[in-house]
Amino acid sequence: MTFNLDSMKKYAYDFGLGLCFATMASLLALGFTGCDREDEPIPSYLTIEPFELQETDLGWHGSISQKITHADIFMFDSTGNESISLGVFELPATIPVLNKGSFSLNIDPVIKANGSSLSLQSYPFYTRFSKTINLKSDAPQAVKPTTTYNEDAVFEVIEDFENSNILFSVERDGNTNTAVVRSTEDVFEGQQVGLVKLDTANASIVAQTEGLFDLSVATSGKIFIELNYKTDVPLTFGIIPVSDNGQEGEPIWEWFVVARGEWNKIYFNLTDAISTTNFKRFAIAFSSTIPFEDEKFTLTEAKILFDNFKLVHF
């Protein structure tokens, strides 16, 4: 293309006018965008505090220690007959909510089944918390949810180690030097806990319950173990199927605990494992050993502490 003076002037004029139009268009777009921002709805803010497990009957449900880490939260709008899911949140949580007006707020307690954050589940044996709330943009709300044990829960066994019975009293390893005993050492609740001591001469334990438990998913539905524990070494828990004539099936070792220097609470979901067997009676077992690395034990001594063992189902 050949440019002369007149064409260069015209090009400059057209180019400048184009810039002018582009600048005006950009300003208009910014103006409209600014208006859109001003029209955006202002959310209400809803803060959900950690759950509290309340006592109803200690003789029935035992300890009220709990580890509810998350909550499944939804609201119900009776006017529009609509359920609004807000999601599952780690507690405490502050949630922006665009809805306004009166709603029934419903919060389900959620636990880490088998101790895994990848297995968040609404715990079926805790009740749902419900409350009517009125959401306004200028009125943030804080809610402290409470829960109790579901009145339909069946506690097959509760072992708090306060009486003369010892839950894991049957040795499976043949070593009577490693056993669960009652102890007043490092008590979690009450006066006593279950204690196992290991050393390099007695580095392992495998023990099970003396009693057998009638458990069937078909009749019991969900089946869980609850346990408070503190341990220097990893633990493995399992179920031992036993037929009507007393013959054992293949043990199922499926639930694991890592070493933990502070008391912790865990929930084991037995439901799926029991549903895969043809057995209805089971013993509960656990095993542990001091880790052996580089041709030596990693610890010269180790302690395992238990409290508030519960086997619960519907």
pTM: 0.85
Binned at pLDDT 50, 70 and 90, residue 12 comes out as: very low
Q: Which of the listed residues 147, 175, 197 is the one where a domain comes to its end?
A: 147
Instruction: Answer yes or no: are the C-beta atoms of 170 and 210 closer than 8 Å.
Output: yes
Q: Do 293 and 170 share a structural domain?
A: yes
Q: Which of 104, 53, 64, 46 is nearest to 80 (CA)?
A: 104
Q: Give the residue with greater pLDDT, 130 vs 12.
A: 130
Instruction: Answer yes or no: are the C-beta atoms of 85 and 106 closer than 8 Å.
Output: no
Cα–Cα dist 274/188, whole Å: 30
Q: Which of 97, 73, 93, 75 is nearest to 84 (CA)?
A: 75
Domain that holds residue 181: 154-313
Could you read off the pLDDT of 36-64 as tens digits, one per residue? Answer: 555 678 999 999 999 999 999 999 999 99
Q: Do 198 and 97 share a structural domain?
A: no
Cα–Cα dist 171/257, whole Å: 20
Q: Do 173 and 138 share a structural domain?
A: no
Q: Give the residue with greater pLDDT, 26 vs 201.
A: 201
Residue 185 lies in a domain: yes
Could you read off the pLDDT of 278-312 as tens digits, one per residue? Answer: 999 999 999 999 999 999 999 999 999 999 999 99
Instruction: Answer yes or no: are the C-beta atoms of 72 and 88 closer than 8 Å.
Output: yes
Number of domains in the chain: 2
Q: Do 177 and 142 share a structural domain?
A: no
Report CA dihedral (240, 245, 247, 252) to the nearest 10 degrees. -20
- Give the position of tokens 């044990």: 149
Binned at pLDDT 50, 70 and 90, residue 124 comes out as: very high
Q: Do 287 and 171 share a structural domain?
A: yes
- Give the position of tokens 């809803």: 46
Residue 3 lies in a domain: no
Tokens of 184: 């007043």
DSSP state of 54: P
Kindly give, in sequence order, each residue whose CB lies less than 8 Å from that of residue 248, ignoring residues fewer than 6 positions away: 240, 241, 242
Cα–Cα dist 66/68, whole Å: 6
Query: Quick check: helix, strand or coil at residue 22?
Result: helix
Residue 123 lies in a domain: yes
Question: Domain of 132: which CATH number?
Answer: 2.60.40
Residue 227 lies in a domain: yes
Q: Which of 50, 71, 42, 73 is nearest to 135 (CA)?
A: 42
